[in-house]
Structure 1
C-alpha cells in the first residue's frame, strides 16, 4: 500500500491527530505529511471529503458523502488516482525534501517518495543543481548515507521562499492555514502601527515568516550576520517586535534576537515611503542618483539631471534598495518581463546606471531590481516626450488674424507632432533665430534660403492637405528610424551556437563595414558582464558599454537556430552602437524594438524569412503608427 493511502487511513474523522504523530507512524518528516495532505485534498475535492487542519489540534477528516469517500479509498488502493507530478513540481519537491530533511536522503527513498524511477530522478537532480546554484547552495552526496542540500541559512530560506511562491502561483488552493494566520497577524500589527507595505511585499513577507517558523522549529536559525543593524529605525524595530510577540504566542516558538533583526530588515527594505512622510534623503543617496543620471546622459543623450520628480522618487527608491543590497535581500518583480518588453530603453538605462550602485556597494543589482528602477526612468521618458515635439514657425502673408487662426488649427490637429513657436507675417527672416525651429509652414512662396525645411500649405486646412501633413510628419520619424538599419549590416542564417562566438563574429563583421574603434568588441563584452542583454521573445540587444565612434547604427543578426543567451533563448540579435556624444533619436529605435518584442508573429516572420526586405516591411508596419 502506498504512503498516501496509508496516511489517509491513519487520519480519523472523529478526533484530531497531530502531524508529529503521523510522521512517526510513517517514518517521514512533518513537512512530508504537510505536502501529502495537500496532495490528498486536491484528490478528495470531488469525493465529498476534505482533511481539515487546526493549530495545536492537528488533522481530521471531514466526510460529507460517505459513499463517495469509500469509492475514493478503493480507487486509492488500486493506484487508480495516483498520478506523477510534472518535472517542475518534482524539482520543487526535491528541493524542499533535501533542505528540510533532518538527515541525508537516499535515492531509493526519494524515488519512492516521488513515485519515479532512478533515471527520472537523476535527470531531475540536474535541474535541482542548476536551480539551487542561483542561491549559492549545493548538494552534499555521501556514499551509503544519501543527499542533502547545504549552504548558508539565509540562502536556504531564499530558495524555499522561491519554491513556495512558485507553488502558490500554480495553485491558489495551496494556501495553508499557517499562511492565512500569519497574514492575519501582519495585518493586525500593521494596522496598529500605521505601517504601510505593498500587497506584493506583504505576501512575500508572509512567506518569509512562514519559512522562518518552520526552520526554527527544525532547529535552524540564522547566522550572526544581523546582530549589528546599521540602518536601525525605531518604528520598524517596534513593528518587528510586535510581529514576533504575536507569532511566539500563537505558535509557542521562541525567536532568537537575530531573527528579530532579520524581520526588521525586511520591513525597512520593503515599506512604502513617500514625499509626504517627512523622509530625509541622505547626501550619499542624492550623490548616487545624480551620478546615475550623469551616466545616462553620457550614454543615451537623455538629460534627467533637472527632473526633480525623478530625482525625488528615485532617491526614495534607492533608500530601500540600499538596505536590500547591503543585506543581500532579494525582491522579485512580478512585472519584470512586461517592463522589459514595454520599456526596453528605460530598462537599458537602469542596467547601465546600476553600475554606479555596484561601484558604491560592491553588490550586483538583480534584473528584478533593475526593472523597478526602469519604471522610474520610463515615466521620466514619457514626461520628456511631451517636450520633444517639432518646433514650427507659421508664415502667413494675409495678416495676423489669419496667421493666428492657422496656428490654432495646426496646434489642434497636430499637437502630437508640433509646437507652434510663433507666427510671422513677412517673408523677411533677418530677425528670426532658427536655432530652435525645426520646420517652417507657410501660405506664401519663400524664395530666401533658410536653414530648415519649408512646407507650403493653404490658409485654411482641407482634408486632403491634412493627410499630406500627417504623412510628412510621420515620414520624418520613419526616415529617422530607417537610418539605423542599413542593408549591408543585415546578417542572416548565422550558424554559431554560443553567445561569445556570435558577438565576436558580429563585431568582426561590423569592423569590415564601419569605421569602429579597435576596442569595440571589448566594450560589448564589458556591457555583457554588467547583466544580460536579452529581452525575451528571442531578442537580444548587445551594445558597447559606452557610446563610441562617429555614428549610430544597428547590425542585425538572425541565427539559424535559437541559442541560450544567459538564461533566455535568443535568435535575433540587434548589435547597437551609439555614437560618441549620444543620439537624440535613440528612443525611436527602442520604440520599434518595444513594439517588436510584443509581436510574436512579426518575430516569427523574420525568423522564417531571414531577409533585409522582410526586416524593412516589419519596420514599415511597426512605424506606421
Structure 2
C-alpha cells in the first residue's frame, strides 16, 4: 500500500512506518516477493487491481502509518473534546508515547486553524480552540480520509459506516441535493462531498457549540430562500449556514479566472509548455483553461495537506496512444516538482484529448447505460464516452455521481454500468454488467462493451 506513494523505501523506513522491527520488515517483503517480479510500482498496482481480494486482505493486516494514526486520533476528537490516548493505543496496537510523538507532528497544521492539543492530568488530552475552527479542521481531514478510504486500515471502516447511518437517519442525501439545487450546481462531486461532510460534522458536534458557531446570520435578500431552507433542516449552526452560502456565492458560482488569477497564469504557462514540447498548437480556450485550473487548484490543496490520490495506468493499450500519453506524462512530471498519479493522469488525458480531438469511434445508438463517476470533471467524462463511441446524447447514457448511485439503482435497472475511475462497486452486486476503463481510452477499449451492447 505504502509503495503506491513512491518507488523507493529503505527497510528501516518501512519498519518505522509499520511500527515493526527491520527483521520483520525484511521477512514480510520476502513473503510478498511474488508481487515484486514486475519492473515498477505502477505494474505492481495494476497486478493487485486484477485481484481485488488482495487489497482487502492487505487492509485487514496492514498496520497504521504515523499519518494514519494522526487521522485516527482526529476522528476520536470528532465525537469528544477530551479523549484517552491509552485506550486508543490499545485499539491500534502502539504505545502511548508513539501516539504522543505522532500528535506533535500535527502542531504546524493545528496552528493554521488556531487549535492546540493539551494534556489534562488523569483525564487525557483536549483539543482547544474555537468550535468553528475545530469544524473547519475536521472537514479538511474528513475530505482527506474520504479520498484515501480504499487504502486505509480496516479500523477506519467504522466511521464510514457511521456516516451511512447518519445519512439515512437525517436524510442527508436529499438535503445536500436540495442545497446543490439552490447553488445551481448539477453535478460537482467535490461540492457534494464537502457539503455532506459538513452535515455529518454538524450532527456529531451538536453538543459542542460556542460563541463562534452562534454568530449572526448574514441577511442578503438574494439568498433568503436558501437561508430559510438551511434553517428549516435544523442541522446547521449559524456558522455553517453563513459558510455554506458564502462558499456557494464565491467558490462555485464565481469565475475561476477572476477568483484565482495566479492559477490562470500558471495554467496558461503549462498549456504553452506542453504545446511547445509536443510541437502542437493547443488553443487556450476558456473551457480548457478552466479544466486545467481545477486540476491544479485541487493538486495544490492535496499537496498542502498531504492528501494522496492514486490512479492505475492502463498498460493494455495500443502504442499509438501509449507513446504520446507517456511523453506527456513525463513532461508533466518535469514541469511539476510534485504530482500524484490521479492528477498526472487527469492532466495528461486532458491534453491528449485536445491533441486527438478527431480520434472518435462510432458505436450504434444504445440506451440504458449508467456512467458512474467520482472526482473526474464532467466534461472529461463526456470526452471519454465519445472515445469509446458513446455520443453526446442523454438518450444514450446517464451520468451518475457515486453519491447518487445507490439511489439511482433503487429506481433504475441499467443494462451496463461504466466507470472510468477506481470505484468500489462490491456492495451493489453488478459484476455481470460492470465495465471499467482506465484512461487513456483507445479504439481497442470499445471491445469491452461488445457483450453488453447491440449492433456493435
Which TM-score applies when normalising by structure 2?
Answer: 0.42
Larger % of strand: which?
1
Bigger relative CO (Cα 8 Å, ≥ 6 apart): 2
Larger radius of gyration: 1
TM-score by length of 1: 0.33
Give 1 or 2: higher helix fraction: 2
